Amino acid sequence: MDTPSFPTALSSLPLRRVVALSVPGAEGDLPARLFIPRGRVRGAVLYLHGGGFVHCGLNSHHGMCCRLARASGAAVLLVDYRLAPEHRFPAAVEDSLAALRWLAALSARCWGGGVAVAGDSAGGNLAAVVAQEARNGAAPQPVMQLLYYPTLYGRRLFPSHQTYGSGYFLSRRSMEWYADQYISAEPDWDDTRFAPGEHPDLSSLPPAVIITAECDPLRDEGAAYAQALSQAGGRVFYRCYPGALHAFLNFYAFMPYGKAALRLGGKALRRAFRPQERR
């Protein structure tokens, strides 16, 4: 399930370059792609793909990262982190942190030093976790976190889980299956590296842009995290796209909401990387 929704060669045309490379992971090098937009590049974004910690990769999210690089004016790094069930929790977290450290060093040399984290679904979970771990000193602090329909709360149930739990692309049963592939042991369900929404301290985290889909069992998780970050004193922008389903970014070539959400995220990243707006 690493198939692009739009031809990768055509997606790459508006960019200056797309570079295939390897970056350090927690236990060895990881395949990656670096998307470099035209014009002046300011900052770098670590993009962590969705797929339930089990599916997807460099091809499935190629077009999305092309559009995000173009909209943000930043370099975007898409990393093929280790997937479950062969590599269970916290392998994906450890790879993501290693990639962020590498990207921050590259950005310091080439693009002004700023770095942000972004991701969709399971990748949104990883981006939120990385932001928390970076605050605690595990990696350089991102200037922003961009979370598309993230899964964030582990065991906790929300009304949208029931309302949209079947018949709306992502089901509760598939959510449970993905978690079973990723989780190593029972205590992991309560580990904040899997359930970042349950972290007892959400203060001093990077500004967040959280985007959800109305007809998605994960909708209320994103809304709850936006509210919790705001109550902890964070800067948060939240938007829910009416009528949209989970994973609508993957179908950006056919769904206007997908293009709009990538433009929105790209513009927010562009602002975050402007030094005068970060002061």
- Sign (positive or negative) of CA dihedral 50, 217, 174, 185: positive
Residue 167, burial from CB neighbour count under 10 angstroms (0-12, 13-18, 19+) = exposed
For each of the chain's 279 residues, which pLDDT tens digit applies? 777 777 787 878 889 999 999 999 999 999 999 999 999 999 999 999 999 999 999 999 999 999 999 999 999 999 999 999 999 999 999 999 999 999 999 999 999 989 999 999 999 999 999 999 999 999 999 999 999 999 999 999 999 999 999 999 999 999 999 999 999 899 999 999 999 999 999 999 999 999 999 999 999 999 999 999 999 999 999 999 999 999 999 999 888 899 999 999 999 999 999 863 443
Domains and CATH numbers, the chain: 8-278 (3.40.50.1820)
Q: Which residues are catalytic?
A: 121, 216, 246
- pLDDT score for 276: 39
pLDDT of residue 253: 85
**DSSP code for 251:** G
Three-state SS across 148-212?
ECCCCCCCCCCHHHHHCCCCCCCCHHHHHHHHHHHCCCHHHHHCCCCCHHHCCCCCCCCCEEEEE
The pLDDT value given to residue 275: 67
Q: What pLDDT score does 188 carry?
A: 95
Structure pTM?
A: 0.96
Cα 21 from chain centroid (whole Å): 20
Neighbours of 29 (CB within 10 A): 11
